[in-house]
Amino acid sequence: MTSLAPAGPLTTSDLPAVHELDALVFSEGSCFEFAEDQERDVRLRVIRDAVALHAERSPLYAGLVERRGFTVERLQDERDLPTVPVLPTSVFKRTLVTSDAGGQVVRTFLSSGTHGRLSLVPRDETTLQRLLGSVRVGLRLLDANEDTDADDAQIINLGPSRQQAGDIWFGYVMSLIEIISETGHYVVDGRLDLAGAAAHVARASRDVGRAFVVGPPVFVCALAAYLTERRISVDGSNITVITGGGWKSHAALDGPTFTRTAITALGLPDASCLRDAFNQVELNSVLMECAAGRKHAPPWLYPMTRNERLEPLSDGEPGLLSYLDPTAVSYPCFIVGDDLGRITPGRCPCGSGGRLVEITRRLDGPADAGCALKMQDRFDLGEASP
Amino acid sequence: MTTTHLHSDQLVAYTGDGSRVVVWRSEPRSTPRGVVVLAGGFAQRMRHMGAIAAYLVANGALVYRFDPVRHPGLSDGNVGSFSLSALSDSLQAVRELAEKENPGETPVAVASSLAARAAVRLATRGSGFARLVLLVGVVDYRRTLAQALGTDYSTWTIDELPATITIEGQVCDPRAVWLDERDQRWGGAEETVIDLLSVRVPVINFVSVSDEWVDAEQVEGIFRLGAGGERYIVRLPEGQHRISANPVALRTLLRMLTTVALCPQDRIAEVVATQDDLPVIAEPGFDELVTLTVQERARERAEAHSSAARSSGAVI
Ligand SMILES: [Zn+2]
pLDDT digit string (tens) for A160-175? 999 999 999 999 999 9
Taking 70 as the threshold, does the pLDDT of residue A269 lie above it?
yes
Quick check: A7 and B224 CB within 8 A? yes
Quick check: B235 and A178 CB within 8 A? no
Three-state SS across chain A? CCCCCCECCEEEEECCCCCHHHHHHCCCCCHHHCCHHHHHHHHHHHHHHHHHHHHHHCHHHHHHHHHHCCCHHHCCCHHHHHHCCCEECCHHHHCCCCCCCCCCEEEEEECCCCCCCCCEEEEEHHHHHHHHHHHHHHHHCCCCCCCCHHHHCEEEECCCCHHHHCCEHHHHHHHHHHHCCCEEECEECCEECHHHHHHHHHHHHHCCCCEEEEECHHHHHHHHHHHHHCCCCCCCCCEEEEEECCCCCCHHHCHHHHHHHHHHHHCCCCHHHEEEEECCCCCCCCEEECCCCCEECCCCCEEEEECCCCCECCCCCCEEEEEECCCCCCCCCEEEEEEEEEEECCCCCCCCCCCEEEEEEECCCHHHCCHHHHHHHHCECHHHCC
* Mean pLDDT calculated for residue range A252-266: 85
Taking 90 as the threshold, does the pLDDT of residue B185 lie above it?
yes
User: Are A209 and A242 within 8 A, CB to CB?
Assistant: no
CA separation, residue B88 to residues B42, B78, B95 (Å): 12, 16, 10
Quick check: B256 and A15 CB within 8 A? yes
Q: Which CATH class is domain A142-289?
A: alpha beta
Q: Distance between CA atoms of A234 and A229, rounded to whole angstroms?
A: 13
CA-based nearest distance B2→chain A, Å: 6
Instruction: Give the nearest partner residue to A18 out of B230, B248, B286, using CB atoms.
Output: B248
User: Are B74 and B307 within 8 A, CB to CB?
Assistant: yes
Taking 70 as the threshold, does the pLDDT of residue B276 lie above it?
no
Q: Does A114 touch chain B (CB under 8 A)?
A: no
Taking 70 as the threshold, does the pLDDT of residue A3 lie above it?
no
Distance in Å, CA A353 to ligand 1 centroid: 8
In this predicted structure, what is the pLDDT of residue B3?
55
Quick check: A10 and B233 CB within 8 A? yes
In this predicted structure, what is the pLDDT of residue B1?
39
Query: What are the phi and psi torsion angles at B223 (to 5°)?
Result: -70, -35
Chain B hits for A151, CB-CB cut-off 8 Å, are: 297
In this predicted structure, what is the pLDDT of residue B212?
78
pLDDT band at A252 (very low <50, low <70, confident <90, very high): low
pLDDT digit string (tens) for A296-333? 999 999 999 999 999 999 999 999 999 999 999 999 99
Quick check: A11 and B231 CB within 8 A? yes
Distance in Å, CA B247 to ligand 1 centroid: 27
Task: Name the residue of chain B whose CA is nearest to A13's CA.
Answer: B234
Bridge partners of A288, per DSSP, are A277, A296
pLDDT digit string (tens) for A122-156? 999 999 999 999 998 998 888 765 444 456 789 99
Domain positions in chain A: 27-103+293-386, 142-289
Taking 60 as the threshold, does the pLDDT of residue A94 lie above it?
yes
What percent of chain B has pLDDT above 90?
A: 74
Q: Distance between CA atoms of A57 and A283, rounded to whole angstroms?
A: 18
Q: Distance between CA atoms of A147 and A152, rounded to whole angstroms?
A: 11
Q: Does A152 touch chain B (CB under 8 A)?
A: no
- Mutation for testing the B interface, residue in A2, A3, A18, A146 having most B CBs under 10 Å: A18
User: Are A239 and A271 within 8 A, CB to CB?
Assistant: no
pLDDT band at A365 (very low <50, low <70, confident <90, very high): very low
Instruction: Give the nearest partner residue to B237 out of A2, A15, A126, using CB atoms.
Output: A15
Listed in sequence order, the residues at least 6 apart from B277 whose beta carbon sits closer than 8 Å to its beta carbon are none
CA-based nearest distance B151→chain A, Å: 23
Distance in Å, CA A252 to ligand 1 centroid: 27
Quick check: A12 and B242 CB within 8 A? no
Chain B hits for A126, CB-CB cut-off 8 Å, are: 248
- Mutation for testing the B interface, residue in A21, A25, A26 having most B CBs under 10 Å: A26
Give the CATH fold of the A27-103+293-386 domain: Rossmann fold (3.40.50)
Chain A hits for B253, CB-CB cut-off 8 Å, are: 15
Domain positions in chain B: 8-140+186-312
Chain A hits for B297, CB-CB cut-off 8 Å, are: 151, 181-182
In this predicted structure, what is the pLDDT of residue A312?
97
Q: Does A317 touch chain B (CB under 8 A)?
A: no
Q: Distance between CA atoms of B55 and B281, rounded to whole angstroms?
A: 9
CA-based nearest distance B231→chain A, Å: 5
Give the CATH fold of the B8-140+186-312 domain: Rossmann fold (3.40.50)
Q: Distance between CA atoms of A29 and B133, rounded to whole angstroms?
A: 28
Report the SS3 class of residue B78: coil
Per residue in A211-231, is it b (16+ CB within 10 Å) or e — as a string? Answer: bbbbbbbbbbbbbbbbbeeee
More confident residue, A5 or B191: B191
User: Are B278 and B256 within 8 A, CB to CB?
Assistant: yes
- Mutation for testing the A interface, residue in B3, B201, B248 having most A CBs under 10 Å: B248
pLDDT digit string (tens) for A175-202? 998 988 889 999 999 899 999 999 999 9
Distance in Å, CA A287 to ligand 1 centroid: 11
Task: Name the residue of chain B whose CA is nearest to A148's CA.
Answer: B169
Instruction: Give the nearest partner residue to B238 out of A23, A130, A166, using CB atoms.
Output: A23
Quick check: B248 and A2 CB within 8 A? no
Query: What are the phi and psi torsion angles at A368 (to 5°)?
Result: -125, 30
Distance in Å, CA A185 to ligand 1 centroid: 29
CA-based nearest distance A147→chain B, Å: 10
* Mean pLDDT calculated for residue range B162-191: 94
Q: Distance between CA atoms of A373 and B267, rounded to whole angstroms?
A: 58
* Mean pLDDT calculated for residue range A232-245: 92
pLDDT band at B279 (very low <50, low <70, confident <90, very high): low
